[in-house]
């Protein structure tokens, strides 16, 4: 029954929040309001994405530094190896360790259009980081398969390599097909991957934008999701309520399936993430 499934949700849950570096003073204000709003929920870590060019990269370092200096949160920078030499990465890793960073989200990064086939992968970054210090490393996983992978099995083996190289959890690409996540988690267990496969939850407020993004990332948008947002193109208020409802339904199913760790793609907004966490029983300390 609904009563039973709601009472089964308990506070025994770990959450982490992802932000991106803001590009304007207005966006910076929104980011910091969101960080302050979410901080009392005591996340395991908060992560900050890393961009494709050096200007954006400096902004990542800036946000990480300020989180470290002004909050009690654990700051986890994302780090990518496209466009960076091993020497640069070693330098940065040492700098991070010295400045107290212990958590890193290690990624290959998206290749600029027209790039040649890559020769270095996220697993190489995991090894490089582990050669510097005992970082707690998160890596990316793709329940619906990464678009560059030759097939699902090769992609799974790639994840296993990243874990064997020393990563301690996988964070998934966002998804809406909960079944595909659950099947993926089973396949990870069968492949001997023994770390948490943390679902990446994307609270949706802008479905039009999501349609564009999902196509690029090989994420399926089920028919029911289209139906939920159908006709709300000019109704941001209702979209917000519907988006919260969609995500809350998802986390309830995941929670009932034993998921204890959730990662939120906040898009620098606090409202939906806060509401979803509340439903999961995550409360201010
Ligand atoms: P990898 O694990 O290296 O895999 C990339 C592809 O190569 C896969 O298809 C894999 O199967 C394949 N592959 C691996 N090894 C080999 C091999 N030896 N031969 C052939 N193929 C191989 N991007 C950013 O730029 N900045 C961010 O901050 C950022 N944060 C992210 C956070 C999360 C949680 C996720 C899920 C993604 C994030 N991304 C970010 C996007 C990510 O950089 C892209 O999805 C990128 O294309 C792949 O990164 P990866 O770490 O999964 O790569």
Residue range 149-165, pLDDT digits in tens: 999 999 999 999 999 99
pLDDT for the residue 2: 53
Q: 3-21 burial by CB neighbour count: b if 16+ within 10 A, else e?
A: eeeeeebeeebbbbbbbbb
Is the pLDDT at 209 greater than 90? The verdict is yes
Q: Which atom of ligand 1 is nearest to the CA of 20?
A: 28
* Residue 6 pLDDT level (bands cut at 50, 70, 90): low
If one counts every other C-beta atom within 10 angstroms of the C-beta of residue 62, the result is 14
Q: Contact 262/201 with Cβ under 8 angstroms?
A: yes
Distances in Å between the Cα of 1 and the Cα atoms of 168, 177, 197, 252, 269 are 36, 22, 27, 13, 32
Strands (E), 57-153: 75-80, 103-107, 136-141
Residue 19, strand partner residues = 48
From 116-120, 139-143, 172-176, the region with the lowest mean pLDDT = 116-120
- Closest residue by Cα to atom 39, ligand 1, is 109
Q: Contact 17/260 with Cβ under 8 angstroms?
A: no
- Closest residue by Cα to atom 37, ligand 1, is 140
Is the pLDDT at 275 greater than 60? The verdict is yes
Q: 79-115 burial by CB neighbour count: b if 16+ within 10 A, else e?
A: bbbbebeeeebeebbeebbeeebebbbbbbbeeeeee
pLDDT for the residue 127: 98
How confident is the prediction for the chain on average, in pLDDT? 94
Q: Contact 199/253 with Cβ under 8 angstroms?
A: no
Q: Contact 74/86 with Cβ under 8 angstroms?
A: no
Which tens digits make up the pLDDT trace of 223-273? Answer: 999 999 999 999 999 999 999 999 999 999 999 999 999 999 999 999 999
Q: How many angstroms is it from 219 CA to the middle of ligand 1?
A: 14
Is the pLDDT at 116 greater than 90? The verdict is no
Is the pLDDT at 3 greater than 60? The verdict is no
In 3D space, the residue among 132, 141, 137 whose CA is nearest the CA of residue 89 turns out to be: 132
Quick check: helix, strand or coil at residue 105?
strand
Percentage of the chain modeled with pLDDT above 70: 96
Identify the active-site residue in 18, 39, 144, 196: 18
Best residue among 107, 124, 174, 216 to mutate for probing ligand 1's pocket (most ligand atoms within 8 Å of CB) is: 107
pLDDT for the residue 273: 98
Is the pLDDT at 7 greater than 60? The verdict is no
Q: Which atom of ligand 1 is nearest to the CA of 82?
A: 25
Which tens digits make up the pLDDT trace of 14-35? Answer: 999 999 999 999 999 999 999 9
Instruction: Return phi, psi of residue 179, to 5°.
Output: -55, -40
So what's the ipTM on this one? 0.99
Q: 243-270 burial by CB neighbour count: b if 16+ within 10 A, else e?
A: bbebbbebbbebbeeebeebbbbbbbbb
Measured CA to CA, the distance from residue 95 to residue 48 in angstroms comes to 17
Active site residue 18: yes
């Amino acid at each position: 029954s609904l009563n039973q499934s709601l009472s089964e949700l308990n506070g025994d849950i770990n959450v982490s929040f992802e932000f991106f570096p803001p590009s304007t003073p207005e966006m910076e204000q929104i980011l910091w309001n969101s960080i302050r709003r979410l901080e009392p929920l005591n996340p395991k870590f908060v992560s900050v994405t890393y961009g494709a060019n050096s200007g954006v990269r400096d902004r990542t370092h800036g946000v990480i530094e300020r989180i470290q200096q002004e909050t009690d949160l654990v700051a986890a920078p994302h780090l990518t190896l496209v466009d960076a030499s091993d020497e640069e990465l070693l330098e940065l890793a040492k700098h991070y360790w010295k400045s107290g960073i212990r958590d890193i989200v290690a990624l290959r990064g998206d290749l600029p259009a027209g790039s040649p086939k890559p020769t270095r992968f996220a697993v190489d970054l995991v090894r490089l980081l582990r050669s510097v210090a005992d970082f707690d490393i998160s890596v990316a996983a793709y329940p619906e398969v990464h678009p560059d992978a030759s097939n699902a099995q090769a992609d799974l083996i790639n994840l296993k390599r990243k874990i064997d190289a020393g990563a301690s959890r996988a964070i998934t690409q966002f998804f809406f097909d909960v079944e595909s996540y659950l099947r993926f988690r089973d396949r990870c267990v069968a492949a001997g991957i023994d770390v948490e496969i943390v679902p990446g939850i994307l609270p949706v407020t802008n479905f039009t934008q999501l349609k564009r993004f999902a196509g690029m990332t090989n994420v399926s948008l089920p028919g029911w999701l289209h139906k939920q947002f159908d006709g709300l193109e000019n109704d941001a208020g209702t979209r917000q309520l519907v988006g919260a409802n969609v995500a809350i339904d998802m986390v309830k199913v995941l929670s009932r399936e034993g998921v204890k760790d959730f990662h939120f793609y906040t898009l620098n907004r606090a409202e939906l993430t806060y509401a979803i966490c509340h439903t999961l029983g995550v409360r201010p300390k």
